[in-house]
Structure formats: structure tokens, C-alpha cells
Structure 1
Amino acid sequence: MGASCRRRPKGNLVTDLDHLLLERRVDALLAPWSRNDGAGVTIGVVLDGALCVHRHAGLASIEHGVPIGHETRFRIASVSKQFTCAAILMLEAEGSLSLDEPARTYLPELPDSVDRVTVAQLMHNSSGLRDMFEILRHGGADLGTPVQPGALLDGITRQQTLNFQPGSRFLYSNSNFLLLGLIVERLSGRSLDAFLQERIFAPLGMADTRVTPDTAEAIPRLATGYLRDGDAVWRRAPHAFPLGGEGGLVSSVRDLALWARNFSTRRVGAEWLGGLLTQTPFSNGTENPYARGLVTRPYRGVATWSHGGLWPGFRTEFLMVPDQQATVIVIANQGGADPNLLAHRVLDAVLDGRPGVHPAPPGLPRDVLSRLPGRYLDDATETTLDIDVGENGETTLTT
């Protein structure tokens, strides 16, 4: 297991004893992977702007026996979305676009059905656009099928109807963020990676982070993603797919910790960073918890801002509690781990004993969990959701 950063800023709320107890709680959560004979998990805890705990267990490469370490990079999948939204907010701050303009203003090849979908509705997942992965599945492809980059946009442009009136409902759709990434590239004249490198990654020192459109590209220090067949056999997850603004980032715990710290220091984006946390209600006035690449939920009486990431062989959870100056980052290079559950258990260790925080919620009874696994279909959106429950009660949701 990895070591932690013991140097903390003056005035930090965490005592040495708190820090030691937190490390032990994290180590206990990592115990299932401590044999280092398979893929693993890394956990980072940011308190008052410092990466105070960074622990890991398991292998970045099973074939070569390479352990996960401080410098290991991972595909963070949909955690990328907040960075795409950040790029859009930068362009808005510069006067290059308006969030209230139809997306077709900047992507004229979009069909007439998208005419009233605004840039803001793409950011809030309220556009009504079908998810591009669902479109591919209906066409007989999957995430392991080689797909040309243009095929994704083509699939979206062939949709003649929306699932609902723009702004009236929520539908998680990767199509929204693919289009947002393309808007950034059209207006800036640069690749999404080049834009983010100059504006965010380089200024914050995020040297491990980049947009990698080709998931088959060889990248230094990138963990291999694995799936497990049965109880013993690990196999490499298939990767032959183009990704962009919806999920193309490779990063590390230490880089995401720098990004989390920026929400406090505002070293980058003082004029637009708060916009990532802006919510827009649905047309009927009800709340949409999906802001702009981040989701807000109450937990134990405090407001959390988070996003998960799921890609074959990789799972991520980025969980911030701004009022408590705390962020938990969990990344796994295996499909069977549950970073969301792990992140909340780590957060429990951070929140326990703090004033105004509610007790930790009880877990669901085993008999209830046993009835959950299966494939579910939303008739209104034609979106499928697979639910699986692990032996320790961890729940995995896959769209």
C-alpha cells in the first residue's frame, strides 16, 4: 500500500491522530486487494487543499507484476465531463458563445430535431438527446467494437426525434458531452486536449492528465483495465473506441487532488469555476441535481458534489464536500470494484464527529439487495441499466 502526504497546511483541521485513524480506515477498505495478485484500487483524500492520504493496493499490470503507485494513471471516463463543461464556461466568459444559444448555432450539421436544444441543456443532461452508446447498441456494436470517430456524431445526427422536450426532464446522455467537446474544438480551433492543457492542466501542474481520443493508445504509466471471469481469471478489458468530451481523460489521484484544491484556491477560473456548480430547474420548476459535469446530493446533512466514471476495466468516483473542505477520490482498474461505495465510506471517516453532521445511514438488508440484480429498461427513453450486487453488498450500475 502507498504512503500518505504528512505535510499539511498550517491551520489544518486534521490532527495527527485523526490522520492516522483515517489512514487505517482507508487501509481497511483496501484490504480485499492487499494480496496484490490482481487488479486494484487507489484512494486519495484531500483535506484543506492537501492530499493528506494516498493509499493503493493491487496491480496496475497483472502481466508484468507492476503495482499501483502514486504515479499510476487511469482512464477516469465520465469524470471528464466537468472539464469539458469548464472549457465551455471559459469560452462563455470570453464572449465566444452563449449558453442559451441553440447547439446548432455552433454545430450546424445537427438535425432539425435538435433545433431548440441549448448549450446549457447539453451541460445539464436535459436535452432529450439519446445516449450515443445506446444508439450504437441498437446498431449491433459494443464498446469493444472498432468505431471510427465520425460514426458517433453521425449516429447522433441521424436521430430525427428527441426523447422529450428539451429542458423538461433528465436523461444521462454521453451524446451531450461529445457535442460540447466538439463545440470547444470548433470555436477554439484547437483539439480539446490542447485547449485544456493550456488553460487548466498546465497552470495547475496536472502533468498526468490529458485527453486521449484513442482508447487503444499506449500511454506511459497507464494502468491496464481488467474484467474478471468468475472468481479467478482476469482478462484485459476491450478497448477500441474513440472518446472525447464525454469521457476521454486519463489522469491520476494526485492530479485530481490538484483540481479539487482549485475549487478552494481558484487559482484557475476564478470568474467561471462557480458555474460548474450552477443548477437549472426543469421547465416545470422541479430541481435538476445535475449541474454542469457535477451532481449535487445531500449526504449526512452536508452538500456533496460528485461524478462517477465507468469504462470497461476502469471505475472512478470524484466526491467533493466543499463546506467541509474535503474531497475523496477513488479509482479502480477493474470492473468489479465500487468506487462510489468506497468513497462514501472514506467520507464517513472524514465526517464522523464533525459538528452538524448526521449519523451514517444504515446499509440495505441483504434480502433487499438480493432482489436487485438484473437488467432494467426505461420504456420512455429506451435506456437499459444493469444492476449487480457483490458479495460485500457493493452495488454496480452499468448503462
Structure 2
Amino acid sequence: MVEFFACQPQDKVAFNEDVDGIFAPWDHELSPGCALAVIHKGEVVYTKGYGMADLEHGIPITPESVFYIGSVSKQFVATALVLLEEEGKLSLDDNIREYIPELPDYGHPISIRHLIHHTSGFRDNLTLWELSGRSMIDDIPEDEIFALICRQQGLNFIPGVDFSYSNTCYFLMSMIIERVSGQNLRAYAEERIFSPLGMKHSQFNDDNHRIIKNRAFGYTQLAEDSIGNLIMRFDLVGSGGLYSSVKDLYLWDQNFYHNQLGKRGQTLIEQLQTNGKYSNGEEVNYAFAMINGEYRGLRTIHHTGSMGGYRSMYLRFPNEQFSVIILGNIDNLDPLNRAYEVASIFLKDKLSPEKEVMSTSDEPETSQNQSDYPETELNKFVGSYHSPELNATYHLEIAQNQKNILMQTIKQKPVILHISGSNILSDNTYKLDFNKNYQTFNMNYAGTSGIIFKKVAYSTLNE
């Protein structure tokens, strides 16, 4: 096991105070928080825990605390498939139906490579799960969500022509790993990745009954002075599922500079960091679950993670051999911006002048059409609509203000929709596009498009 070094910059007191200031809002015994590791040229130059891992028992966060790291898990899944290709057990260009024949034939081949770079067109399985009226942080039986995927009658687009981030892709990748290797993802990653690198506190948790030593629990900010426990029973692996610590991720970080996995040395690392391509040969801005970018003149590679109360960010500046790892257990942490703030302190002499403040959202604020519509116009949308793909029924009725439509389904909060066209209802996330006689509509939501609903009798609402 590599030791953690005490090396600091020459003006270490000022550096440390500036870094600690970033996390001050969470650094007390009444708040969850995060663990931080700052790495430069093979050494951890600063590492610390802020806030509490377990509020009920008064356990503070330390660099040894273990967190659910969300979609940062994906790069380990992509690495596993690259290792299987190196072993000659598959090709990334194989049609995925060679390994998962239960999937529908959509008329266009979908390759493993399409899955890796999110160019498959698959609708997001976790979005579909929530649209079906169930919570993604509760227990999700693997067979049920796989059946949900297989019920989808269409894709968002022809494979290879567009990009849409989809957790379905990495869930299916975990299935391929198991069917090809004969080991589930948990066992394969332990044997081929974690054990060789000495990552003794990392695991894909595919059983929510399992005890995880030093686990930090997830929380939600209910109000300014109110924290809520956000208990998570989610145990699907592939799209997420990895529990780890900043100390273990330091070992993963160092492998990018001195690769110990597989047989190809740095060639494997170069592959993992290479962007995918669309069918027309243009680059996809997504490598093997890593996003290539630039921050104030310096090259970056990063990925974020989020599930329940957990938030994570793994940011690398490869040319400087500098990294920031933040693993948190409170949903208002915003680790992406926090990581760049930390990097700006340590790399201030190398960064170009800051142009604008970063935002965690690329979605612009939009205003909804609040025009009044006669009741006869609103009545066209009223009724119950069923989706066989989701196995869920949505009920639409006129809202109390007599201006909008209220959309409801079992176990979900009602949503207010506005008329934004002669046959379209929408808000900032949903868009329902009705046919001319208002008997069917296609739903678009959060990158999932074309889900078909048909009008049914009110009595068929889910109970």
C-alpha cells in the first residue's frame, strides 16, 4: 500500500486555509460533508474529511470513509470490457445481441462501443423506472429493470448518429461482463482491477444487505437548517454501484501514469482516454467513461457521480499530473464546482485568467406560456393514458387554476403542465406530444424520447 505523504506547497498554511474555506459550510458536527484528496506528481499533497459520515452516531468523515461514488463507477466498468477484449473474449465492435439476445432487434446493430460512448440510442433505464412510478433509490430488482429495458419498442435515435447519456448502457455492459467472463462485475473487478492496485476498500455492492465498513451515509438538505436522512437501497451495478474512498481512488489515479492492469502498459491508458466516434467519423466528447475537456487553458479529464445523497467528482489535469477527488454525502455539495475551486488554488500560477463562473447545469431558464385557455381546449387532454413500455398509467385533469393540466401517476408527485402548442403539453422537463384526436401521445423526458401512451378507461389506473 502506498503511504500518504505529508508534502505540502511552501505556503502550505495559506493553501490549507483557502481549501478549508471552500468546504467550511459543511465542516461541523451537525452537517454531512465530504472527503477530499489533492494529488500532485504521485503524492497526496492534501487530504481531509469535512463534516460527518454518520450524524446519528456522531462519526466524522475521514480520508478512509467509504462513499457511494455514482457514475464515477463507469470508468471501472469500461476498463473491465477493455481487459476482456485484451483477453480475446470479445470485441468492442461486437453486436451486443450476441451476448444479450433477449434485447429487441431495433433494425440497426448496437455494438459494445456504442454502449461505452452513449451513442446507442437506448433510453435511460433509471428515468424509465421513475416514469413507471417507482423510486430509483429504493431496491430495484435486476430482472424487473431488465424486463423494462426489453419492453422498449424504440430507441432515441439510430445507433452511432447522436449522443444521449444513458445508464442503460452501463447496466447492459455489466451483464456482458458477467456472461463473457463467468464472473459477476463485483468479482471480476476485484480480481482484475482492485486487487492488483491494492484498492482494499473498494467494491461493487450488488447486495443492499451487505455490511460496508466505514460507510458514510447519504443525506439531503431539507431546508436551510434541516438535514434529512436519505436511506438508499439501490444495488444495481454497472451504471454505478461502486463504493470507495479517496485513499483507494488515489491508487486508481496513479495507475493512469504507471499502468499495472492488463498486458499493454500505457497503451491501455491511452485507449481509455480516447474519445469515441460517431458513424460519420466525428468525435464524441466522451471517452471510456471519462470526459475530456479544458479548464482555463489546461487539459482536463473528469467525471461526476450522483445518487441519493451522494455526490462525487474525479478531476484530473493529466499534463500536470494533478488531481482532485471529492466524495460527498450531502446532495447540495456541488462537487464539480468545488473541485475546480480547489484546483484554482493549487494551479493558480498555471491557469489562464478566469472568464466566467462555471455552472453545474447547461439548461437555460425558460419561461412557460401562462396564457388562459378555454375549458373546452383543456378538456381535449383530459383522461387516462397507459404506456405498455413503462407498464404505467398517467391521469391528466384540469388543474385547480383552470389554466393548466395536472398530470399524476401512482407514487409520484403531481406535475403541472402548460399548453405550449395546439397539441403539446410541457414544463421544463416533460413534453407530451398528442396526435390529432388526442387518443395517444409521445412523452419526452430527461433525454428519454418517444415513449408511447394510449388513452384508456379511468379504471385501468395503477393501484
Counterpart AA for 1:296: N
Q: Residue 362 in 1 paired to residue 319 in 2? A: no
Distance of aligned partners of 1:264 and 1:204 in 2 relative to their CA distance in 1, 3 Å threshold: same
Greater CA drift, 369-378 or 315-324:
369-378
Tell me the equivalent position of 2:171.
178
- Tell me, yes or no, if the aligned pair for 1:93 and 1:272 is still in contact at 8 Å: no
Deviation readout 1:204-244 (Å, 9 max, x if unpaired)? 11111000013454311100100121122222213222311
Shift of 1:284: 3.8
- Whole-angstrom distance in 1 between the partners of 2:364 and 2:159: 37
- Whole-angstrom distance in 2 between the partners of 1:236 and 1:61: 10
Shift of 1:200: 1.1
Counterpart AA for 1:360: E
- Unmatched 5+ residue regions in structure 2? 369-426, 432-441, 448-463
Q: Residue 257 in 1 paired to residue 239 in 2? A: no
Shift of 1:29: 0.8
Distance of aligned partners of 1:29 and 1:344 in 2 relative to their CA distance in 1, 3 Å threshold: same
Q: 1:382 aligns with which of 444, 451, 461?
A: 444
- Tell me, yes or no, if the aligned pair for 1:5 and 1:53 is still in contact at 8 Å: no
Tell me the equivalent position of 2:106.
113
Q: 2:17 aligns with which of 12, 17, 24?
A: 24
- Tell me, yes or no, if the aligned pair for 1:348 and 1:360 is still in contact at 8 Å: no
Tell me the equivalent position of 1:314.
310
Q: 1:128 aligns with which of 121, 129, 132?
A: 121
Counterpart AA for 1:266: N
- Whole-angstrom distance in 1 between the partners of 2:285 and 2:363: 25
| Partner SS state of residue 174, structure 2 | helix
Tell me the equivalent position of 1:232.
225
Tell me the equivalent position of 2:60.
67
Distance of aligned partners of 1:313 and 1:364 in 2 relative to their CA distance in 1, 3 Å threshold: closer
Q: Residue 212 in 1 paired to residue 264 in 2? A: no
- Tell me, yes or no, if the aligned pair for 2:108 and 2:159 is still in contact at 8 Å: no
Shift of 1:331: 1.2
- Tell me, yes or no, if the aligned pair for 1:45 and 1:329 is still in contact at 8 Å: yes
- Whole-angstrom distance in 1 between the partners of 2:4 and 2:138: 41
Greater CA drift, 370-379 or 245-254:
370-379
- Tell me, yes or no, if the aligned pair for 2:285 and 2:291 is still in contact at 8 Å: yes
Tell me the equivalent position of 2:91.
98
Q: Residue 50 in 1 paired to residue 43 in 2? A: yes
Tell me the equivalent position of 1:279.
275
Shift of 1:361: 3.1
Deviation readout 1:71-102 (Å, 9 max, x if unpaired)? 10000010000000000000011111111111
Tell me the equivalent position of 1:396.
none
Counterpart AA for 2:356: P
Bigger fraction of residues in helix: 1
Distance of aligned partners of 1:82 and 1:316 in 2 relative to their CA distance in 1, 3 Å threshold: same
The percentage of counterpart residues that share the same residue type is: 34
- Tell me, yes or no, if the aligned pair for 1:228 and 1:234 is still in contact at 8 Å: yes
Q: Output aligned runs, 1:243-254, within 5 Å.
A: 243-254=236-247
- Whole-angstrom distance in 2 between the partners of 1:256 and 1:140: 35
- Whole-angstrom distance in 2 between the partners of 1:309 and 1:156: 22
- Whole-angstrom distance in 2 between the partners of 1:210 and 1:146: 18
Shift of 1:41: 1.6
- Tell me, yes or no, if the aligned pair for 1:38 and 1:58 is still in contact at 8 Å: yes
Tell me the equivalent position of 2:285.
289
Q: Residue 82 in 1 paired to residue 75 in 2? A: yes
Distance of aligned partners of 1:114 and 1:300 in 2 relative to their CA distance in 1, 3 Å threshold: farther
Tell me the equivalent position of 1:345.
341
| Partner SS state of residue 318, structure 1 | strand
Q: 1:161 aligns with which of 154, 157, 172?
A: 154
Distance of aligned partners of 1:314 and 1:163 in 2 relative to their CA distance in 1, 3 Å threshold: same
Distance of aligned partners of 1:369 and 1:154 in 2 relative to their CA distance in 1, 3 Å threshold: closer
- Whole-angstrom distance in 2 between the partners of 1:187 and 1:237: 36
Q: Scaled by the length of structure 2, what TM-score is found?
A: 0.75
- Tell me, yes or no, if the aligned pair for 1:163 and 1:381 is still in contact at 8 Å: no
Counterpart AA for 2:57: H
Q: Residue 329 in 1 paired to residue 325 in 2? A: yes
- Whole-angstrom distance in 2 between the partners of 1:57 and 1:260: 22
- Unmatched 5+ residue regions in structure 1? 9-14, 386-399
- Tell me, yes or no, if the aligned pair for 2:140 and 2:236 is still in contact at 8 Å: no
Computed over aligned residues only, the root mean square deviation of the Cα atoms, in angstroms, reads 2.5
Structure whose alpha-carbon radius of gyration is higher: 2
Shift of 1:109: 1.2
Q: Residue 139 in 1 paired to residue 132 in 2? A: yes
Tell me the equivalent position of 1:11.
none
Shift of 1:5: 4.5
- Whole-angstrom distance in 1 between the partners of 2:90 and 2:430: 34
- Tell me, yes or no, if the aligned pair for 1:26 and 1:43 is still in contact at 8 Å: no
Shift of 1:17: 1.1
Q: 1:40 aligns with which of 33, 42, 46?
A: 33
- Whole-angstrom distance in 2 between the partners of 1:240 and 1:378: 27
